[in-house]
Structure 1
């Protein structure tokens, strides 16, 4: 995927997520997401801040987040999630084409972040939110290549992961097969959400 194709995919995802959010009821905005401790509104707020967040804003949130990246992420998600649905949707649309984020973060994470969080929102609400295979594969490539925060290579060192809808396979050991989106959800810690789509002897090691 070229750089322009990558950012086109990110823009498409942000706009589609905004369209989904536009259809939610007040109760759905406050429903639990797949992210532990985050409601749908916190996930949406997080997505809306990615293209505008500055390094200074991250540093300023440090004390409240006890200087822990996960806690800082939650502090900011709560802040932006409190803006309200219309403001969050407007932010997503207004900054859908932006190619930046805080200097201490990595824009190469923007696509998988949008893909995974779209599922974090949609699946608990019973909404179908399909992802193009090439988007999911690009996201999975990045998750597998990066260490923090998922450490996918270490966590799945004893199995072979094989996609059934594209030519993607890694690892050695008992096989886990499934659509590339299910493997992306698996490697980002959404194991329960991925299980129904996974097959193979390696699946037993997950439960």
Structure 2
């Protein structure tokens, strides 16, 4: 009521009442809306410069790698059969080494035996020099003949051992050849059943050359 009276009195006195201009009130929602919108965008991220590779080409590379790592039944069979052949040849080489060691041992014993005989003959000769009743020249001649005879016996013994080793090695190699031929025949039959479209891995000429080289080295 007092407000209305004051206005009326002002008109009556000829004064213009003071008009209050109400400023628009900015709410928090209105003033901060642009800032929030700008803030929500965040700092501008740099462009992604990573080169993009085609998915199709990458898939092809993966397929190629997988194809390279694939082990076929033929590969497994080759490994199995080659391991068997290597085992046969390793057994042959062990047999030949045993034969060689055995005859080397016999040759060594033979040489030691005849070396003792020569030493005994020389000792008998030295002891006979003290006997004045013996003819020195005839005794010396008999010693030389005895030593020559011992050496001849030793040579003959070594020749017999060498021939025995040759015969035994030949028999062992022939037995191995028969086993290898039989094994290769079985491998070829198995290969024909398992991998008929793939050529057999074994080459006879190369195998014979490898066998001959191995035998000469043992």
- The TM-score range, normalised by the shorter chain, is under 0.3
Question: Who wins on radius of gyration, i.e. which is larger?
Answer: 2
Structure with the bigger RCO (C-alpha within 8 Å, sep 6+) is 2
Q: Which is helix-richer, 1 or 2?
A: 2
TM-score normalised by length of structure 2: 0.19
Q: TM-score, normalised by structure 1?
A: 0.20
